[in-house]
A and B are shown apart, each in its own frame.
Chain A
Amino acid sequence: MNTQFKKGVLELIVLLSINKKDMYGYELIMEVSKVVDVNDGTIYPLLKRLTNEKYADTYLVESTEGPSRKYYKITEIGKNRLEELSSSWKIFEKSVNKFIKECMENE
């Protein structure tokens, strides 16, 4: 899959994941890799950008094993963004599917 394309979708997937429940870094990687095959390294910069743009908040949770974990939580602005992204994804998906269909029929 194209890197740029993947990156756009990645934001949507991450927002969807943390909308479901608060997650920490590794958990998110596991979650995202269920859907897209992506470099583990690229998740963190994305998370950083999301927190910078106030789409996500972070908080620390003491862990019984090892150091404390940083959890990511979606904000209200983040939810709006998610809304925006998912609706444009749906439109995009629909139009692409429609186009595929047309092409197939013409064949």
Chain B
Amino acid sequence: MNKKDFIKELEKRLEILDEKEIKDIVNEYKDIIDEKVKSGKSEEEAVSEFGSIDELATEILKAYKINPKYSNSNKDSLKDAKESCEGWIKETAKTLSDTAKGIYDSLKKSNNDISVELVFELIIKFILMLIVLAILRLPFEIINGLGDSIFDMAFYPADEVLGLVWRLFTSILYFGVCILIFIAMFKEYVNYNQNTVSVKETKSSNGKKKEKVVAFERVENGTENVATQKPVKGNKNSGINSALSIIYKLFMVFVFLIPLWFMQLGLVVGLAITIYYACIGINIWGLVVVMIGLVIGTGWATDIFMQLTFKIKKIHFYPVFVSLLVICIGSLIFAGNILSFNYIDEAPQNTDFEYKTAVKEFTLSTLAPISTSQYDMTFVVDPELEDNEIRTEFSYYENFRNVDDISLNYNSNSNVYSLSYIQYKKTDFNDFKDSYNSLIDNLKDNEIYNYEKLSDVSIKIFANENTMNQIKK
């Protein structure tokens, strides 16, 4: 290791200390190296005379009364969690394999290359991965359901199209996450198979180093009575603790962080959509401001849970006030925006929509009332019609509805007529486009119509006064 690498490594290991202190320490070591170089040694020689950098960093931290283990775990707790998780898996695999090995060895003595331990480790990891993926399915399902219920508010066929796009999007996302998790979990085995020997060697050397440090620490504890010292990670005692911390972290991640991330994702998409519509002229700037506030708010919440999960100490509270402020202002503006809209309880006016009326006439054989329980019907007196003659008119927008098979059936048991017809929903993309355009145009004019009415069918029944008295009861 040359001087630069040594300094870099040392700085990394002393990260927990104050910046000024690190600089101080590093300067001291730089000086020593420089002096040694001056006296004719190489940089590498000078560095090697410091001994193992692990021990050196441990010693320095101890001089500050800092638990050397803490600096590592705090620096990269995710990595630490992963490591201890792996350690736990390996240990479980080892105990399982030890028992299995006995049976296996007695059954068959062979010089197989793949160790039983490795096979068990792989199996356990695979099961663990399946569980993780299954749990991961939950937030995605929630997001799916959320999307569906939001898109249900849109009128047909927009809800179906958006729903499909949304489900496709989340599925791709989920699939991507699955692949990433798989790669993360099994990457090392690809290398393992390629050069088993070298991996084994480094593994054993790591093990030795750990043992050394543990032994070293034990002596330390005995002689100097340093209460703060704890055995380095990998020890069985800390195994339970790290297992608990993994469970805690997993809980935090799945219950809070992942939903929050998705919420943020959704809010950002929502923000983009609202900004787009605000830009094309719809008066919803208030909603844009509210969305910005929500993005800041969830960002802050995510930050808090990240800090709670990974035990970082600094917590800022000002983002929550900023977000509240922005949300309040946005809500007020949006309320103003909403009040400026006129709600018109009619189908939107648009020349592209054709209003069609289907007419069918019937002659009644018996005079009996027409059941009104099924549909909304309007009875209109038409003196031009003859006795016992009625005319039905079905009016609807041809672009969205189609009415067929109109019939009037007499039920002799209850002595009523019942009207029946079949109506179709139409799924024409051009009509969808037309209605979308009319929606946007209306919104630009601060007008909201009742779009449901586009698919309404209004029924009128005509008869002369005489007949009307008989059929309307």
Is A41 a contact partner of B31 (Cβ separation < 8 A)? no
* Total cross-chain contacts (CB, 8 A): 57
How far, in whole Å, are A51 and B106 apart by their CA atoms in the complex?
Answer: 63
Contact across chains for B36 and A48 when beta carbons are under 8 A apart: no
Closest 8 CB pairs of A and B: A41-B50, A48-B63, A45-B59, A26-B35, A39-B51, A41-B56, A45-B63, A49-B63
B29 touches A (CB below 8 Å): yes
Q: Is the CB of A40 within 8 A of B49?
A: yes
Q: A48 contacts B64, CB within 8 Å?
A: yes
Main secondary structure of the interface of A (DSSP, over half): helix
Partner of A25, one of B31, B49, B63, B223: B31
Q: Which of A63-71, A74-82, A85-93, A97-105 contacts B (4 or more CB under 8 A)?
A: A63-71
Cross-interface CB contact of B34 among A49, A66, A70, cutoff 8 Å: A66
CB-based contact B28/A25 at 8 Å: yes
Q: Are A48 and B60 in contact (CB under 8 A)?
A: yes
> Which residues of the partner chain A approach B35 to less than 8 Å between Cβ atoms?
26
Within 8 A of A (CB), among B142-194: none
* Cα(A46)–Cα(B62), bound, Å: 10
Q: Is the CB of B31 within 8 A of A24?
A: yes
Decide if B199 is an interface residue (CB 8 Å cutoff).
no
Chain A residues with CB under 8 A of B28:
25, 44, 70
- Interface assignment of A29: CB less than 8 Å from any CB of chain B: yes
Does A42 interact with chain B (Cβ within 8 Å)?
A: yes
Q: Beyond A39-B51, A40-B50, A48-B64, is A67–B32 a contact (Cβ under 8 Å)? A: no
The complex places the Cα of A70 from the Cα of B50 at a distance, in Å, of: 19
User: For the complex, is A52 an interface residue (Cβ under 8 Å from B)?
Assistant: yes
Cβ of A66: which chain B residues have Cβ within 8 Å of it?
31, 34
In the bound assembly, the distance between CA atoms of A40 and B64 in angstroms comes to 19
Instruction: Report which B residues bind A (CB closer than 8 A).
Output: 24-25, 27-32, 34-36, 49-51, 55-56, 59-60, 62-64, 216, 219, 223
Complexed CA–CA distance, A99 and B464 (Å):
137
State how many angstroms separate the Cβ of B129 from the closest Cβ of chain A. Answer: 42
CA distance A70 to B29 in the complex (A): 11
A29: chain B residues within 8 A (beta carbon):
32
Decide: A41 and B59 in contact? CB cutoff 8 A: yes
Cβ-defined contact, B63 with A4, below 8 A = no
Show 22 A/B contacts (Cβ-Cβ < 8 Å), sorted by A. A25-B31, A26-B31, A26-B32, A29-B32, A39-B49, A39-B50, A40-B32, A40-B50, A41-B50, A41-B51, A42-B56, A44-B25, A44-B32, A45-B59, A45-B62, A48-B60, A49-B63, A52-B64, A66-B34, A67-B27, A69-B31, A70-B27
Q: Which chain B positions have C-beta within 8 A of A4?
A: 219, 223
Contact between chains at A44 and B60 (CB < 8 Å): yes
Shortest CB-to-CB span from B214 to chain A, Å, is 15
CA distance A66 to B28 in the complex (A): 12
Instruction: Kindly list chain A residues whose C-beta atoms are within 8 Å of the C-beta of B63.
Output: 45-46, 48-49, 52
B229 to chain A, nearest CB (A): 14
Question: How many Å lie between the Cα of A49 and that of B61 in the bound state?
Answer: 10
Q: With the chains together, A42 CA to B51 CA distance in Å?
A: 9
| Cβ–Cβ < 8 Å partners of A67 in chain B | 27, 30-31
Q: Which residues of A contact B30 (CB under 8 A)?
A: 67
Tell me, rounded to whole Å, the shortest Cβ–Cβ distance linking B430 to chain A. 78
In angstroms, Cα B52 to Cα A39, docked, is 9
Q: How far is the CB of A52 from chain B (nearest CB, A)?
A: 7
Q: Which of B29, B35, B64, B219 has the most CB of A within 10 A?
A: B35
Known contacts A4-B219, A25-B28, A67-B27: A45-B34 contact under CB 8 Å: no
Whole-angstrom distance between the alpha carbons of A4 and B220 in the complex?
Answer: 8
Q: In whole angstroms, how far apart are the Cα atoms of A54 and B59 in the complex?
A: 18
The complex places the Cα of A41 from the Cα of B48 at a distance, in Å, of: 9
Q: Given A4-B223, A52-B64 in contact, is the A42-B59 Cβ separation under 8 Å?
A: yes
Known A-B contacts: A26-B35, A46-B63. Give 16 more (CB < 8 A): A25-B31, A26-B32, A39-B51, A39-B56, A40-B32, A40-B50, A40-B51, A41-B50, A41-B51, A41-B55, A41-B59, A42-B56, A44-B32, A66-B31, A67-B30, A70-B27
A residues 15-70 near B (Cβ < 8 Å) are 24-26, 29, 39-42, 44-46, 48-49, 52, 66-67, 69-70
Question: Chain B contacts of A41 at CB under 8 A?
Answer: 49-51, 55-56, 59
B442 to chain A, nearest CB (A): 74
Q: Whole-angstrom distance between the alpha carbons of A70 and B26 in the complex? A: 12
Highest count of chain B CB atoms <10 Å: which of A24, A41, A48, A70:
A41
Chain B residues contacting A44 (CB-CB under 8 Å) are: 25, 28-29, 32, 60
Nearest CB in chain A to that of B48: its residue = A40
Smallest beta-carbon distance A59→chain B, Å: 13
Q: Which residues of A contact B25 (CB under 8 A)?
A: 44, 48
**CB-defined contacts of A46 to chain B, threshold 8 Å:** 63
Within 8 Å CB of B29, what residues of A? 44
Docked Cα-Cα span, A31 to B24, in Å, equals: 22
B397–chain A nearest beta-carbon distance, Å? 85
